[in-house]
Structure formats: structure tokens, C-alpha cells
Amino acid sequence: MTDPAGAGALPAEGLPATRVLDEIRALRAADRPTHGGRLFAYVYDPGVAGLDELAQAAYAQSAHVNGLDPTAFPSLLAMENALVAAAARLLGGGPGTSAPDVVGSVTGGGTESLLLAVKAARDARPDLAEPRIVVPASAHAAFAKAAHYLRVALDRVPVDPVTLRPTVDAMAAAIRPETVLVVASAPSYAHGVVDPVAGIAAAAADAGVRCHVDACFGGWALPWLRRLGAPVPAFDFAVDGVTSISVDLHKYAYAPKGVSVLLHRDAACRAPQFFAYADWPGYTMVNPVIASTRSGGPIAAAYATLRHLGEDGYLRLAASTRDAVAGLADAVRATDGLRLMAEPESTVVCFTADDPELDLFVLLDELTARGWHTQPQLRYADLPASVHLTVTAAVAPRVAEFSPALADAVAAARAAGPVALPPELTALAGGLDPEALTPELVAGLAEGLGLGGGAGAPDRMAVVNTLLDAAPAPVRERLLAEVVGLLQRPAW
């Protein structure tokens, strides 16, 4: 993409539209496949013909509308309010429920929703100099980000290595006088298990503390699975003590990226989420969410997606997803040396390897080589490394192909044998001081491992994953942040 006359994206003379689109198409060819049910992370594909075209047309109609001022663009306000009502209804709120006064905001994604839930909780307690939040160790990393950005202390409660959930007692014991928010996941991203929301919310309520349910991942899947007969525990506003819930529409509502909903039990709970500022010479800025100028595109696309699919559509998609989860889990169960981390109770299949001769990271590479893109999860506390599959409706027609591919990949991984890092390298990774990792050192290491060249990750990642697996979290963070820094360089 270099251009001697201009710089990067900006040519000296503008290019024809068809050429520009060709360029993007060529760039996209290197990406993982967003459609087709073979990528088990990052994307949510319903496999519904015509839905993309509808969402794109809706996106285009509202792309230049600005969510900065709802009075200037009532179309956006109407669509946001409709999305909030739909999410609230699905999650136990609205007229005739035990949470009749529920309100909400549309945000740009799950992380933004969680940041705002933490901000609302923090700013509801201006009397506390050092606010804290209590989260299960399995809670999404976005809570750590929120704590970091908002200068709130993070109290992490370990999860049981078998149930992969925190106990209610441990969560209750972690609540202190400075605690402003207690968190439960429905379900957790890593393992797809639902925390004991009722007990956690009750403990929070007893202490007079807010309770946020992070249903970013599962909030648009669990209610349909329940309607189909799955034993989904209560996790929404029907549970006393739940004060806010986040649900991402760009996950299981199958909307294009950039849209999540943050719900609060009532307007008083939501009030401290807002930011208003009039003390400057420009317009009075009133922002319910973090972004100020916001494109109407993602909101209109989500609105169109919900209107088109409807309850019947989501039920059908949930049934396909449920069947796909069952089929993938069966494939794992049937494989010697693999073990499910948890019996699937939502839309995640997560497994580990119990056999030292079967290297999970080599297996992952072998699956990639066969066109199945899974996500590695490094070892954490007393949990082993694992492979994560986010399962969506588009996977259902692929399940029959997955079983033989898995068997084949396992045979290849066994034949290749485990990654054998020199013991001194493993020891080095385990004992590294993150501060000692200079950008130059990481650049040299990344070069040696085939990373950092700007062409994305190499095909085989087992060595890199093994090294990272041996390193403590601060070293992993530092190493990968430096690598991303190397990747993010101007394309002169």
C-alpha cells in the first residue's frame, strides 16, 4: 500500500472507486474467514442469507448520522430506545416485570458497557476515596481495564478449578466497605459457564452494593436457549439485587460490530453513568456513553437485524447453535487425550489436553492448517491451557466435518510430538522481569519467532504459545504489548 507521491492511505491523486474496493478486497484476502462457521472467535455468523446485505444497507443509511445530539437526529434516538426496550424485555425488565423502570444506553461494545457500569458504580459513591470492585477471576479482562482507567481497585475472587465459578461465600467475603460493585458473568467468555448470579446478587444487596451481570457474551443467547428447554439458571433482572446488565448486540444478536446495550434497573442507577459539561465556550456536551460523536451506522444495522430476524429467527438460530455445541462437544469427548473443561451450558466449547504426548498448541496449529480457527487460552492459576470455541449458528452445518478434522489434527499433533523448548528458555520465560524487556529485545525476539513483520501471525504458533504459556502474566502482557506496538507502525 505504499505510494511514492502520497503517504499510506492518501494518494496524491484520488483513485477510482472500483480500484479502491479492489485494494480492500485484496487486503481482506489475508484475513481469517468471517463467514462459514470455521472461525471460533472474534466473529458471530448466523449464516442467514440476505442478512448482511440488509445490515449493510441500514448501516449506510445512518452512517453519517451523529449520536452526539439526540434532538438533532431523532431517528437514532428512536432506534436506540427500541434496542434498549428489546434487550430489557429479553432480560427480565420492562412493564409487568419486577424491573418495570429499567433504562439503558447503547454503547459501542462490551468493553465500553463494562467501563460505564464501573463508572456509574464508582460515581454513585463520591464519598469513597478508594473505591473497589469485586469480580470473579474468570470475569472478562475489560473489568481490569475499567479498574485501571477509572482508578478503582480490583478484587479478584479465584474460581474453583472444577466448576470454573467463584463460590458465593468467597464473593461475599471479598466485599468491603469500599466496594462499589460486585460482578457476575452470564456466562464467562473463557469457559462459557454461568456464575451463581442469584447468590452473588443477594450478597451484594445485603451489603448495599450494586451488582452487574456481564451478559455481553451470552445475554442474547441464554434466554432463547432457556425457551428451547435448556436449564439456564436465573441471571437477569428477575434476580433481586441485580442492578445492571450488559448485552452485546454484535455478538449473539448477530449485528455488525460496534453495538452493545447497558441496562440499569432504574434511572437513578444510570444517572452517574452520564457526563455533562457546560463550562467551555462550545456546545454543552452531554454524553450518556464514552464516545461523543457516534455513527448511527451500527445502531441502524442492529435495529434492522433485530427487526428482520425477530423472536422466531433468534429461536431458530439458538436451536442450530445448541445442536452445533452438542456435536462439537461430542467430538471432543470421543477424542482420547482431550477433556472438556466444563460441560457446555451456553455457546462455548472449551477443552484441554490431559495427555503429555498431545500438545494442545500443536493441535491448534494442525486445526488451523485444516481451516479450523480456534483460540488458545494460556494456563492461568491452577487452570491448564485450553482451546476456546465460540459457537454460532453458522457452525451447525459444519459439525459433521469437524469430527474427522479433529481426529486427523490430533493424529498429526501426536506424530509431530510436543514442542520442546530448550529448558533454559522455558526457565528464562518463567523468570523474566517485565521491566527488563526493552523494545529492542522484544523486537529481536519477535523477529526470531516470525512475528512483527506486519504480515499477521505465522501459520505455526505453537512455539510462541508455549513460550507465552511459560511466562507469568506481567511478562505476557509486556511481550505482547511490544509486539502489537511493532505491528502498529505507519505504512509510509
Ligand X SMILES: Cc1ncc(COP(=O)(O)O)c(C=O)c1O
Contact positions vs ligand X (CB under 6 A): 109-111, 114, 140, 142, 185, 189, 214, 216-217, 248
Instruction: Give the Cβ contact number of residue 417 at 10 Å.
Output: 11
Q: How far is the CB of 474 from ligand X (least distance, A)?
A: 22
Cβ atoms of 322 and 315 closer than 8 Å: no
Q: How far is the CB of 334 from ligand X (least distance, A)?
A: 28
* Helix or strand holding residue 244 (H, E): strand 244-248
Amino acid at residue number 69:
D
Place of cell 449493510: 56
The residue (of 236 and 248) whose beta carbon lies closer to ligand X is 248
Residues in contact with 406: Cβ distance below 8 Å, sequence separation at least 6, in sequence order: 331, 332, 335, 367, 372
Residues in contact with 40: Cβ distance below 8 Å, sequence separation at least 6, in sequence order: 372, 373, 374, 375, 388, 389, 390, 391, 395
Q: Which residue is nearest to ligand X (CB)?
A: 110
The residue (of 109 and 131) whose beta carbon lies closer to ligand X is 109
Q: Residue 187: is the preceding peptide bond cis (ω within 30°)?
A: yes
Cα–Cα distances in Å, from 19 out to 24, 28, 89, 392, 490? 9, 14, 46, 34, 22
Q: How far is the CB of 24 from ligand X (least distance, A)?
A: 23
Q: How far is the CB of 347 from ligand X (least distance, A)?
A: 11
The residue (of 245 and 306) whose beta carbon lies closer to ligand X is 245
Cα–Cα distance for residue pair 406/415, rounded to 1 Å: 14
Half-sphere exposure of 314 (CA within 13 A, CB side): 24
Q: How far is the CB of 68 from ligand X (least distance, A)?
A: 21
Q: How far is the CB of 278 from ligand X (least distance, A)?
A: 30
The residue (of 306 and 432) whose beta carbon lies closer to ligand X is 306
Cell numbers found for residue 194: 454461568
Q: How far is the CB of 456 from ligand X (least distance, A)?
A: 19
Cβ atoms of 180 and 272 closer than 8 Å: no
Cβ atoms of 110 and 220 closer than 8 Å: no
Cα–Cα distance for residue pair 158/181, rounded to 1 Å: 17
Q: How far is the CB of 467 from ligand X (least distance, A)?
A: 25
The residue (of 216 and 394) whose beta carbon lies closer to ligand X is 216
The residue (of 212 and 414) whose beta carbon lies closer to ligand X is 212
What secondary structure letter does DSSP report for 186? S
Residues in contact with 362: Cβ distance below 8 Å, sequence separation at least 6, in sequence order: 413, 416, 417, 418, 419, 462
**β strands within 41-167, DSSP E:** 103-107, 132-136, 153-157
Q: What is the full DSSP assignment across 208-233?
A: T-EEEEE-TTTTTTHHHHHHTT--PP
The residue (of 104 and 452) whose beta carbon lies closer to ligand X is 104
Q: Do you know the residue count of the chain?
A: 492
Q: How far is the CB of 138 from ligand X (least distance, A)?
A: 9
The residue (of 290 and 443) whose beta carbon lies closer to ligand X is 290
The residue (of 122 and 140) whose beta carbon lies closer to ligand X is 140
Q: How far is the CB of 482 from ligand X (least distance, A)?
A: 22
The residue (of 189 and 224) whose beta carbon lies closer to ligand X is 189
* Beta pairing partners, 182: 134, 211
The residue (of 116 and 442) whose beta carbon lies closer to ligand X is 116
In the three-class reduction of DSSP (H, G, I as helix; E, B as strand; rest coil), residue 484 is classed as helix
Give the torsion sign (CA, 189, 194, 195, 200).
Answer: positive
Q: How far is the CB of 186 from ligand X (least distance, A)?
A: 8
Q: How far is the CB of 11 from ligand X (least distance, A)?
A: 33
The residue (of 335 and 374) whose beta carbon lies closer to ligand X is 374
